[in-house]
């Protein structure tokens, strides 16, 4: 080989060594920067690796440090560490320690820990021990600990209404459990044995009675509203069960018939009596919500209320819906001559006025469907988030900020042929391509 050829070969080898050294330096520098600066990007569709907007809102309202003790060997706590890392990003002063309950039995006993994997959360001098560790449980615990006085919610019962602790498909047991986890205190109320709604009631939830209520009970409900009480009325189509005087007192007028919605066919829902709400106005009740909600077997309202009440329509159906007055079977079409109005139609009425005490705002929400919060439908689409938003708005500013349900993670389903193509491509084709390119580069360098 000539002197020029040897010099070129030496220069190429020197350039290769410089490249390797620079590459190693870049890797070391990237690792050093990554250790000093915590930056995370969540690229998952549903944001499953980030805190929900609900949790972020709760953490933003905490004024004092939070301390968490995990009674578990740290070597076994990878899932817990991944969860707490999300909280550390929002709470820089979050203190976390891990204790093996077998090595520290006295501390575990003082915290009420009976199982490995439990967690004690401390805030503002109060503490709570969790048996289940999840974002929902931890955030709910922080809400409970941050509240000096939890709001009371009374649920009218005794006439076959939906029960807040019931397990039936039409009951509100799951929603009641959800509210309790958010720091609310729920109390069943039977006006047949209790003459008045207690004054400390922050919200009264009313559903359609199966047995008509007595006139005196309706008077007690009206008296509660006249004192400034807040109301969530889950009104179903059909008979009001003796609550007609209450609807008349509030100036509420229902449109005849049952809502039908052609838009749900796009969601592969065959039942046209399921109403879809996917567009939310700029209203405090629904601000921040994005996920659509589904209302099975609902009714619509006329947009009016009694004098003295301001009213808005925070929930409305889409065009392509109407109130069907005839039987819903086969192919149904809107008949204007029968009083069937074309959507959008108000599915909920929000009534507000200055509280009789002169302090704050009195809020009522009348909804044309109670099934959407039932055990059978609470976890459907965005129903859960909307239900929390309703209670938050009605009990605000005491209640927990509610979050929209983000887009759900889509499951990646591959056919057998697609699996073979991806597997063969990654295990056979790509290695052959890299090998061929390497041989060509090596051959070209030897010729040079």
- Whether residue 141 is found in the same domain as residue 157: no
Cα separation, 72 vs 206, whole angstroms: 44
- Whether residue 217 is found in the same domain as residue 257: yes
pLDDT tens, position by position, 118-145 = 889 999 888 888 877 888 788 878 887 8
- Whether residue 224 is found in the same domain as residue 243: yes
- Whether residue 29 is found in the same domain as residue 67: no
Average pLDDT score, the chain: 84
User: How many domains does the chain contain in total?
Assistant: 4
Of the listed ranges 8-12, 40-44, 71-75, 263-267, the one predicted with least confidence: 40-44
Domain residues for the domain of 433 are: 412-448
- Whether residue 124 is found in the same domain as residue 205: no
Of 291, 257, 276, nearest in space to 386 by CA: 291
What b-and-e string marks burial along 4-33, b requiring 16 or more CB atoms within 10 Å of the CB? eeeeeeeeeeeeeeeeeeeeeeeeeeeeee
Is residue 402, in this structure, part of any structural domain at all?
no
Question: Any idea what the CATH number is for the domain that residue 389 is in?
Answer: 3.40.50
Task: Return the pLDDT at 338.
Answer: 86
Q: 103 versus 156: which is more confidently predicted? A: 156
pTM of the model: 0.66
First to last CA, the chain: 11
Is residue 2, in this structure, part of any structural domain at all?
yes
- Whether residue 162 is found in the same domain as residue 138: no
Task: Return the pLDDT at 404.
Answer: 40
Contacts (Cβ under 8 Å, ≥6 apart) of 103: none
Cα separation, 384 vs 403, whole angstroms: 10
What distances in angstroms separate CA 386 from CA 83, 231, 362, one per listed residue?
25, 16, 20
**Taking the CA of residue 412 as centre, how many other CA atoms within 13 Å lie in the half-sphere pointing to its CB?**
4
- Whether residue 165 is found in the same domain as residue 295: yes
Task: Return the pLDDT at 397.
Answer: 47
- Whether residue 420 is found in the same domain as residue 387: no
pLDDT tens, position by position, 305-319 = 999 999 999 999 999
- Whether residue 18 is found in the same domain as residue 120: no
Is residue 404, in this structure, part of any structural domain at all?
no
In this structure, are strands 66-70 and 119-123 parallel, antiparallel, or unpaired? antiparallel
- Whether residue 296 is found in the same domain as residue 246: yes
Kindly state the greatest CA–CA separation across the chain. 113
Q: 253 versus 415: which is more confidently predicted? A: 253
Q: How confident is the model at residue 436 (pLDDT cuts 50, 70, 90)?
A: confident
Task: Return the pLDDT at 77.
Answer: 79
Is residue 335, in this structure, part of any structural domain at all?
yes
Q: What angle do CA 230, 234, 237 make, to 5 degrees?
A: 145
| Percent of residues, the chain, with pLDDT higher than 70 | 90
| Percent of residues, the chain, with pLDDT higher than 90 | 39
Helix axes 173-181, 135-146, angle to 10 degrees: 60
Cα separation, 137 vs 331, whole angstroms: 46
Cα separation, 389 vs 400, whole angstroms: 9
Q: What is the mean pLDDT of residues 415-429?
A: 76
- Whether residue 334 is found in the same domain as residue 217: yes
Is residue 103, in this structure, part of any structural domain at all?
yes
Is residue 77, in this structure, part of any structural domain at all?
yes
Q: 102 versus 250: which is more confidently predicted? A: 250
- Whether residue 208 is found in the same domain as residue 271: yes
Is residue 57, in this structure, part of any structural domain at all?
yes
Is residue 48, in this structure, part of any structural domain at all?
no
Of the listed ranges 37-46, 110-119, 207-216, the one predicted with least confidence: 37-46
Cα separation, 250 vs 355, whole angstroms: 15
pLDDT tens, position by position, 360-394 = 889 999 999 989 999 999 989 889 889 988 998 99
Contacts (Cβ under 8 Å, ≥6 apart) of 7: none
């Amino acid at each position: 080989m000539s002197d020029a050829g040897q010099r070129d070969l030496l220069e190429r080898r020197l350039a290769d060594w410089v490249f390797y050294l620079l590459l190693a330096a870049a890797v070391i520098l990237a690792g050093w920067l990554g250790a000093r600066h915590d930056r995370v990007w969540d690229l998952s569709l549903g944001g499953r690796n980030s805190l929900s907007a609900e949790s972020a809102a709760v953490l933003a309202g905490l004024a004092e440090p939070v301390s968490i003790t995990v009674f578990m060997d740290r070597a076994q706590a990878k899932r817990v560490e991944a969860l707490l890392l999300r909280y550390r990003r929002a709470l820089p002063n979050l203190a976390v320690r891990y204790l093996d309950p077998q090595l520290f039995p006295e501390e575990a006993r003082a915290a009420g820990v009976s199982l490995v994997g439990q967690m004690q959360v401390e805030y503002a001098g109060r503490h709570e021990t969790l048996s289940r560790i999840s974002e929902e449980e931890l955030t709910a615990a922080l809400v409970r600990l941050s509240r000096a006085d939890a709001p009371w919610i009374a649920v009218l019962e005794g006439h076959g209404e939906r029960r807040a602790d019931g397990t039936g498909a039409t009951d509100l047991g799951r929603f009641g459990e959800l509210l309790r986890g958010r720091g609310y205190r729920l109390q069943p109320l039977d006006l047949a044995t209790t003459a008045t709604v207690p004054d400390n009631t922050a919200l009264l939830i009313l559903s359609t009675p199966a047995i008509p209520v007595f006139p005196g009970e309706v008077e007690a409900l009206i008296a509660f509203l006249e004192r400034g009480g807040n109301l969530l009325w889950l009104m179903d189509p059909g008979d009001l069960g003796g609550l007609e005087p209450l609807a008349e007192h509030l100036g509420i007028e229902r449109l005849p018939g049952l809502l039908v919605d052609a838009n749900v066919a796009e969601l592969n829902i065959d039942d046209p009596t399921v109403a879809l709400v996917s567009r939310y106005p700029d209203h405090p009740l629904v601000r921040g919500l994005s996920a659509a909600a589904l209302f099975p077997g609902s009714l619509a309202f006329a947009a009016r209320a009694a004098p003295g009440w301001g009213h808005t329509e925070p929930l409305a159906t889409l065009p392509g819906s109407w109130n069907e007055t005839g039987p819903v079977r086969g192919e149904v079409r809107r008949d204007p001559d029968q009083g069937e109005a074309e959507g959008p139609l108000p599915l909920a009425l929000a009534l507000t006025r200055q509280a009789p005490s002169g302090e704050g705002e009195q809020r009522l929400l009348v909804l044309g469907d109670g099934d959407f919060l039932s055990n059978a439908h609470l976890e459907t689409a965005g129903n859960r988030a909307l239900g929390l938003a309703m209670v938050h708005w009605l009990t605000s500013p005491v209640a927990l900020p509610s979050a929209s349900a983000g887009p759900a993670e889509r499951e990646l389903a591959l056919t057998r042929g697609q699996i073979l193509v991806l597997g063969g491509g990654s295990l056979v084709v790509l290695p052959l391509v890299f090998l061929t390119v390497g041989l060509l580069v090596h051959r070209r360098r030897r010729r040079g």
